[in-house]
Amino acid sequence: MTIQINPNQVPAGSVHVLPFLEASSIQFTNSQGEIIPVNSSLFSGKKDSFYTLESAGQLFLLVGLGEKPDYKSVETSFRKILSKHGEIISDHLVLNLGQTLNTGLLEAALVGFFLGNYHLDHYKKERKKTFEDLNLSINSEDNSIESILKRAQKIAVAKIETFELVDLPPNKIIPEYLAGWAKNLEKNPGVTVQVFDTKKAQELGLEAFLAVGRGSAKAPQFIVVEYRNAQASKHLGLVGKGVTFDTGGLNIKTQGMHYMKSDMGGAATVLGATKLITDLQIPINLTTIVPAVENAVDKDAFLPSEIIGSHAGLSIEVVDTDAEGRLILADGLSYLIETYQPDQVIDFATLTGSAVGTFGYECAALFSNNEEFQKAIQEAGMAMGEKSWPLPLWESYGKEMDSEVADIRNYHGKPLAGAITAAKFLQAFTHEHPSWAHLDIAGVAYADTDFAKTKAGTAFGVGLLLKFIENQL
């Protein structure tokens, strides 16, 4: 796109976008200085409402934001400008942002607008209309609009790349692809990337990680991204579950396997957030780990009742090979904490159907051993429309994971408290780190949205992490 800020004039055929808060009467001024009232029965600025009309030879798209718009609702409404109303837009669009939105909501509006150019039709012969050649004018009275625009563009790019990682098919997004994607982050200052192959992972004792990948022809990749900033005072560690496709292993799934390309949603979140943090050069030290595997079935696949090792030195009884995500996360967490000793650790994973059973598709399940840390994560997410809610880590749940033949088992085998017992399993591999949090994003990383007929990636967690980090600076 070609973008101008507060231009002196715009072409006569431009489409003008005007956002409004909900009000009993709505009016605007057209290009000839005439005040145009809008019938309140047609448009009153209600949340997520739109109205198109022509005045003085120009087309106006009115966008309703509701009475008290928040970041997510504004982002969603502005995403619909290109996604849902692109047919009325030709060469030139004017975003008249005026005084309606504060600085934070200006960012949300611009992020949403750029997200509207994303579609799922990556492999269709005839693709939907795109707006790479659009001439965009932005009218705003905010003195920082240029810096807001630059930041919004970087946020949108990171979210779109996160969408793609989840949405693209599993024959494209394989462990090697994720490793290559991560290596591209080295273009940013302060970033180094290591990728451990099977041999190196064996040397490091990443036995649980390797067990999951044994049944696949696609080699596992243990990805480590380090970002170091000279101005940093804190070190955050991230781990994302990177199961690029999950058959369930020998405990093969009996339904929903079509969606299992999304089982690397946690990896997509932490990689997308890492890209954004390094693009913005935020003053924090960050170490991101993605254990990337495919859980497939062949003669070498790991077995139910098998005893496997782990980086932490704990033996694991495999009760269910479909509880594989926690195995690779266990090695990821242990390696991160023992090797780097970060101040705080957060893992993201599409881990359990139990989280969906508890919260539906509304929010993530949040677990932490540090109440203040947990509250900061939750508040950051709520501010960005990426909601989470805490569940307990009581020791009584941990006893459910006791094994008579190994140090711990990967599944308790009961149709209850699945998200909690999975979190207790992970906690056993955190080496008693004082500030660890786990977000089970099974219901929110890949979901029904307003922008596709099927489930699609949401980039849940990218905004949460950005807000959480900046809140601490």
| Residue 69 token pair | 């718009």
Structure tokens at 197: 């192959």
pLDDT, residue 100, reads 77
Torsion of CA 58, 61, 62, 64, to 10 degrees: -170
Q: Are 309 and 207 in contact (CB under 8 A)?
A: yes
Residue 312 one-letter amino acid: A
DSSP class per residue in 266-283: HHHHHHHHHHHHHHTT-S
Angle at 204 between CA 203 and CA 209, to 5 degrees: 105
| Predicted TM-score (pTM) above 0.85 | yes
Contacts for 125 with CB less than 8 Å, ≥ 6 apart: none
Q: Of residues 241, 326, 424, 455, which has the active-site annotation?
A: 326
Task: Give the pLDDT mean for 205-216.
Answer: 98
Mean pLDDT on 231-239: 97
State the DSSP H helix or E strand holding residue 235, giving kind and residue range, or none if neither. Answer: strand 235-240
Average pLDDT over residues 140-165: 96
pLDDT in tens, 156-208: 999 999 999 999 999 999 999 999 999 999 999 999 999 999 999 999 999 99
326: annotated active-site residue:
yes
Distance CA 3, CA 144 (A): 15
- For 244, list phi and psi in degrees, rounded to 5: -70, -25
What is the C-alpha to C-alpha distance for residues 388 and 374, in angstroms, rounded to an integer?
Answer: 10
Q: Which amino acid is at 41?
A: S
> If pLDDT is split at 50, 70 and 90, which confidence band does 404 have?
very high
Write down the mean pLDDT value for the chain.
Answer: 96
The pLDDT of 65-89, averaged and rounded, is 95
Where residue 99 falls among pLDDT bands split at 50, 70, 90?
confident
Exactly one of 46, 234, 253, 387 is catalytic; name it.
253
